[in-house]
């Protein structure tokens, strides 16, 4: 009997097992995982679909968090296999902005990550983070993908697939950067990770082949002396005063500078908000070039100001003179009322509002046709008939797809919202209560909406954590915005001989008063 026939017999045996809920959780997970893997190996989509259907019948009530982690990890893999069976690399389906397979793959991967919080199975945690990084990178959220792979490497420093995919991801991230020096540094880091992964055990042969190919491409295009030299960033200034240096160091360590290099380095070289719009080609009568930079300048300034407001509210938790003699009734509920708390709230509101301003820029740049008063981040992606806007869908723009999936995280319908990005739903709720309803920050107690629905109550540390999460997400969105425009500009048709130049100056710091 051939190996293929043996696998088929095993697959049919597992498919013929009766009531899945009669099995113990670990045995049910083994059965389902085997169905998914054997179906993939034999390329049997009907068997895979049956396995996915069986999983929908599972009662998870008796499953521990560890069991649920494994269940959702396996199910995410199943949807990934189905996606691979249906889609071929670089065909139109592969570039679909959304599909059921994509949604279910990332949804179940995030569920697995959610239930892995207290797991001692570090290897499985790294597998989940690596897969989530792969998912995010595929969707065009490459900055956040780097964070996932890096987290996996921080848990197990020689975890092979996280290291290899980090190298793979940085290579592709480099391709959409407009700054040649940044691109070279990304390729240098990519090559380091690729070479390290190739030497490790546990790399799939196909993956190792891809890693070798990319490393060869890098070494053929980038000077080998540069690739092998150590980076020397020691002499880069991080500021003048002690307070400025302290603030900038905090930004560097939390990867909050509007600078793609901060995704791969945490030292002085990245301590400035260098990200701008790329070179944009327009008709000589097109005044939109100034509009693009006007709105992007606003986005950058609001982000940077919100970042400092938040930082200041966290590190300077002392009584401010403006709070003296402000009469506040003590309700004995541990609620906090102060200038510092309001700074955190202002930072949160400002950061959240940037999403609509990104939509404003996308609308005018892609000429989507919305009136300025109609534009919101929730609205621009779909036509009035509820279909994805063809100008967006047909773009095959990697970073634009990342921005679209940010929309899905924040504004997707309720049943997907909770796990597509669990924290995004909470961020949306917090923003709604801060802007329109009763919102209370407390020193002690649990967080959530009050029983009567009147007030959203949140612990101070929890609110700080959520604001930092929002800041990181908005930073990634701003990076995707700049680079989606760069991708569009690289594919424009134009006659180079007829190009003129408009010199745009950088505003002197002395005028920022």
C-alpha torsion sign, points 97, 101, 103, 107: negative
Q: What is d(CA 289, CA 69) in angstroms, rounded to the nearest whole number?
A: 49
In Å, what is the CA distance from 146 to each residue of 264, 325, 476? 8, 48, 11
Give bridge partners of residue 441 from the DSSP assignment: 458
Residue 233: per-residue pLDDT: 80
pTM across the whole model: 0.93
Q: 3-state secondary structure string, 50-85? A: HHHHHHHCCCHHHCCHHHHHHHHHHHHHHHHHHHHH
Residue 417: per-residue pLDDT: 44
Q: What is d(CA 233, CA 385) in angstroms, rounded to the nearest whole number?
A: 53
Q: pLDDT tens for residues 414-432?
A: 554 444 566 777 888 899 9
Compute the chain's Rg from CA coordinates. Answer: 25
Find out whether 284 and 500 touch, Cβ atoms under 8 Å. yes
In Å, what is the CA distance from 403 to each residue of 57, 110, 163? 34, 18, 26
CA nearest neighbour of 366 among 355, 356, 380:
380
Find out whether 476 and 458 touch, Cβ atoms under 8 Å. no
* Cβ neighbour number for residue 253 with a 10 Å cutoff: 11
Residue 282: per-residue pLDDT: 79
CA nearest neighbour of 140 among 489, 481, 480, 488:
480
DSSP state of 504: P
Residue 285: per-residue pLDDT: 58
Find out whether 276 and 301 touch, Cβ atoms under 8 Å. no
- What is the enclosing helix (H) or strand (E) of 458? strand 455-459
Taking the chain (513 residues) in runs of 10, the rounded mean pLDDT of each run is: 86 88 94 95 94 94 96 97 78 69 91 94 97 94 97 96 97 97 96 96 89 96 93 82 94 97 94 93 73 95 98 91 89 89 96 96 93 90 84 90 91 54 78 93 88 92 94 97 96 74 78 82
| Beta strands at 438-442 and 455-459: parallel, antiparallel or unpaired | parallel
* Topology of the domain covering 3-228: 1.25.40
Q: pLDDT tens for residues 304-344?
A: 999 999 999 999 888 889 989 899 898 888 888 999 999 99
Q: What share of the chain is helix, strand, coil (3-state, %, to 5)?
A: 65, 5, 30
Residue 200: per-residue pLDDT: 92
């Amino acid at each position: 009997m051939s190996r293929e026939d043996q696998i088929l017999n095993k697959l049919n045996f597992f498919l013929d097992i009766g009531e899945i809920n009669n099995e113990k959780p670990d045995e049910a997970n083994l059965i389902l995982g085997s169905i998914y893997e054997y179906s993939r190996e034999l390329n049997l989509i009907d068997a895979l679909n049956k396995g996915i259907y069986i999983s929908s019948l599972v009662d998870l009530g008796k499953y521990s968090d560890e069991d649920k982690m494994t269940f959702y990890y396996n199910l995410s893999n199943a949807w990934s296999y189905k996606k691979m069976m249906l889609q071929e690399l670089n065909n139109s389906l592969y570039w679909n902005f959304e599909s059921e397979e994509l949604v279910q793959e990332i949804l179940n991967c995030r569920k697995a990550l959610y239930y892995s919080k207290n797991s001692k199975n570090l290897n499985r945690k790294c597998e989940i983070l690596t897969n989530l990084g792969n998912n995010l990178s595929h969707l065009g959220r490459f900055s956040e993908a780097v964070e996932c792979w890096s987290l996996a490497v921080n848990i197990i420093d020689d975890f092979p697939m996280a290291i290899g995919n980090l190298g793979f991801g940085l290579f592709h991230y480099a391709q959409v950067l407009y700054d040649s020096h940044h691109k070279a540094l990304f390729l240098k880091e990519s090559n380091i990770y690729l070479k390290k992964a190739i030497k490790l055990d546990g790399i799939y042969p196909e993956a190792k082949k891809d890693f070798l190919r990319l490393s060869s491409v890098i070494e053929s295009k980038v000077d080998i002396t540069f690739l092998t030299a150590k980076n020397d960033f020691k002499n880069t200034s991080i500021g003048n005063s002690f307070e400025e240096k302290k603030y900038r160091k905090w930004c560097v360590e939390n990867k909050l500078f509007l600078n793609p290099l901060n995704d791969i380095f945490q030292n002085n070289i990245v301590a400035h908000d260098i990200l701008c719009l790329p070179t944009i080609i327009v008709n000589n009568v097109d005044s939109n070039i100034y509009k693009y930079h006007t709105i992007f300048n606003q986005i950058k300034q609001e982000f940077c100001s919100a970042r400092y407001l938040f930082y200041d509210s966290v590190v300077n938790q002392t009584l401010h003179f403006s709070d003296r003699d402000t009469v506040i009734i003590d309700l004995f509920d541990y609620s906090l009322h102060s200038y510092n708390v309001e700074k955190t709230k202002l930072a949160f509101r400002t950061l959240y509002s940037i999403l609509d301003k990104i939509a404003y820029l996308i609308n005018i740049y892609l000429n989507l046709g919305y009136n300025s008063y109609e534009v919101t981040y929730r609205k621009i992606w779909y036509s009035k008939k509820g279909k994805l806007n063809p100008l967006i869908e047909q773009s095959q723009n990697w970073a634009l797809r990342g921005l679209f999936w940010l929309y899905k995280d924040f504004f997707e319908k309720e049943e997907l919202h909770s796990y597509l990005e669990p924290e995004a739903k909470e961020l949306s709720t917090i923003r709604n209560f801060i802007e329109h309803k009763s919102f209370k920050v407390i020193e002690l107690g649990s967080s959530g909406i009050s029983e009567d629905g009147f007030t959203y109550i949140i612990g101070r540390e929890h609110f700080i954590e959520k604001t930092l999460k929002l800041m990181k997400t908005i930073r990634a969105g701003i990076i995707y915005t700049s680079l989606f425009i760069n991708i569009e500009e690289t594919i424009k048709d134009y006659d180079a001989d007829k190009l003129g130049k408009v010199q745009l100056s950088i505003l002197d710091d002395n005028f920022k008063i």
